[in-house]
Structure 1
Amino acid sequence: MHLVNRNFLTTEEVYQDLFHKIETLVYMPGVRISENDLCETYGVSRHIVRNAITQLKAQGLITVYPQRGTYVSLIDMKLVEDILYVREAVEQEALYRVIDLSDTTELIDHLDANITEQKKIISHEITVDDFNTADTAFHRNLLNAVGKGNVLDLLKEEYVHVKRWKNFELRDEKRYEQIIRDHQGIVDAIKKRSPLDGRNALHQHLDTVTNLRDVFTTANPEYFIRP
């Protein structure tokens, strides 16, 4: 969003811009946020900035320490793990139903096309945002196939914490290739109509906390809440 060149920004616009920057790690976990700097950047009053910060604080994205200042919240891996646990339960049930469908031809065509789009990230033909959009569409296609396309929207507000974790993962470009392989494994299981292969592939794909937490939290402990 290009807000700094606009006049008369609302609290909602400032909030949305800050939200996006926190989600995409423009503002890294633990970085200090200056109200004065934000007022100057957006050309708005302190009242508008404080209202936006209040909303972000309510979502657990901002932490205010009395006498110390305002900071972007550290990534809470226990919260991320809990949200992904719920998501996997939903998608495992959806995948089980997908494999039981009488005709998955159209779905497989959509998923194959989606993976082709995702692969463009490797040659830098698409952006990280484009990749994330394609990734989301892949999973929504699975849910749409069994009439549950909107279920993940129930987790939308909380899911920003997972997205921060995911965007942290994607700073390692090797993760793109692994995600694409995971998606291909899910599609292969649907083609083979193998519930066990599907379950294993989806678990491998979504259980990133177990697979990667120690790798990143050890290398960059300053960005994470310590257990």
Structure 2
Amino acid sequence: MNINNGKFLTAEEVYQDLFKKIETLVYMPGERISEHDLCEVYGISRHILRNAITQLKTLELVTVYPQRGTYVSLIDMKRVEDILFIRESVEQEALHRIMHFSDTTELIRKLEENISVQKKIINHEISIDRFNEADTAFHRNLMDAVGRGNVLSLLKDEYVHVKRWKNFELRDQERFEQIIRDHQLIIDAVREKHPVAGRKALHQHLDTVTNLKNVYIDISPEYFILP
């Protein structure tokens, strides 16, 4: 099946499509992806496909084994853990500063409005993409409040590995509800200006490698490299 609808696809367009499919687990960790099949699907030459594969390889999203083929890389949980450590360090500093604000009324309004959006998403037809967008917006509000809204974008290339992990954990519907509860605890701490409670809530929320280790150790170990 050719999906290009008669349009000539560039290596960049093929790369972006494969990137999204790996990130969203259309292609699961460890899955073999056939160059022959992909050339037919996209209606492209092997040269174009291999340029796209090279970009994915640079980000360590695929592993190419000579004589064996190309495989989607397993999710490296130590790498995920390290990226989340950086993210939490940044957000904890932002939250620390917020606790010293004289007025957090507008920030709390934005955060609560965001939670309302998250609840609507899970109370209707759940969309992981839409929920992730709302979740990202929640945390962006915290960073915007201290004038550092773009800081987390510095992790953009690396963060795809965290997104793969997050898309994996969100296959359990209970995780959506837990994330909303975590967000509410953060809001409550900001409202009460309780730095210890805020720090604890944010750590509990972001330390998913520890909190959900049963997923990659017991339930689905074949998709992961253990930390």
Whole-Å Cα distance in 2 between the matches of residues 217 and 5 of structure 1?
42
Match status 1:99 vs 2:107: no
Question: Alignment length, in residue pairs?
Answer: 226
The SS at the match of 1:147 is coil
Whole-Å Cα distance in 2 between the matches of residues 124 and 41 of structure 1?
33
> Normalising to structure 2: TM-score of the pair?
0.96
Whole-Å Cα distance in 2 between the matches of residues 112 and 78 of structure 1?
33
Whole-Å Cα distance in 2 between the matches of residues 52 and 86 of structure 1?
29
With over 3 angstroms needed to count, the CA separation of the structure-2 counterparts of 1:194 and 1:3, relative to structure 1, is farther
The SS at the match of 1:5 is coil
Whole-Å Cα distance in 2 between the matches of residues 24 and 34 of structure 1?
19
Match of 1:138 in 2: 138
With over 3 angstroms needed to count, the CA separation of the structure-2 counterparts of 1:7 and 1:169, relative to structure 1, is same
Conservation of the 8 A alpha-carbon contact between 1:97 and 1:146: yes
Match of 2:64 in 1: 64
Q: Deviations over 1:155-205 (max 9, x none)?
A: 010000000000000000100000000000000000000000000000000
1:101-180 to structure 2, matched below 5 A, reads 101-125=101-125, 127-180=127-180
Conservation of the 8 A alpha-carbon contact between 1:217 and 1:223: no
Whole-Å Cα distance in 2 between the matches of residues 131 and 192 of structure 1?
27
Match of 2:46 in 1: 46
Whole-Å Cα distance in 2 between the matches of residues 23 and 99 of structure 1?
35
Counterpart residue identity of residue 41, structure 1? V
Whole-Å Cα distance in 1 between the matches of residues 116 and 43 of structure 2?
43
Conservation of the 8 A alpha-carbon contact between 1:94 and 1:142: yes
The SS at the match of 1:63 is strand
Match of 1:32 in 2: 32
Q: Deviations over 1:61-90 (max 9, x none)?
A: 000111111000000000000000000000
Match of 1:86 in 2: 86
Conservation of the 8 A alpha-carbon contact between 2:62 and 2:71: yes
Q: Deviations over 1:101-125 (max 9, x none)?
A: 1111111100000000001232234
Shift of 1:126: 5.0
- Structure 1 segments, 4+ long, off by >6 Å, are none
Counterpart residue identity of residue 28, structure 1? M
User: Which segments of 5 or more consecutive residues in structure 2 lack a partner in the other structure?
Assistant: none
Q: Once superposed, what is the RMSD of the aligned Cα atoms?
A: 1.3
Whole-Å Cα distance in 2 between the matches of residues 138 and 122 of structure 1?
16
User: Which segments of 5 or more consecutive residues in structure 1 lack a partner in the other structure?
Assistant: none
Whole-Å Cα distance in 1 between the matches of residues 224 and 129 of structure 2?
23
Shift of 1:215: 3.1
Conservation of the 8 A alpha-carbon contact between 2:10 and 2:48: yes
Identical aligned residues as a percent: 73
Match status 1:216 vs 2:197: no
> Normalising to structure 1: TM-score of the pair?
0.96
Counterpart residue identity of residue 76, structure 1? D
Conservation of the 8 A alpha-carbon contact between 2:215 and 2:221: no
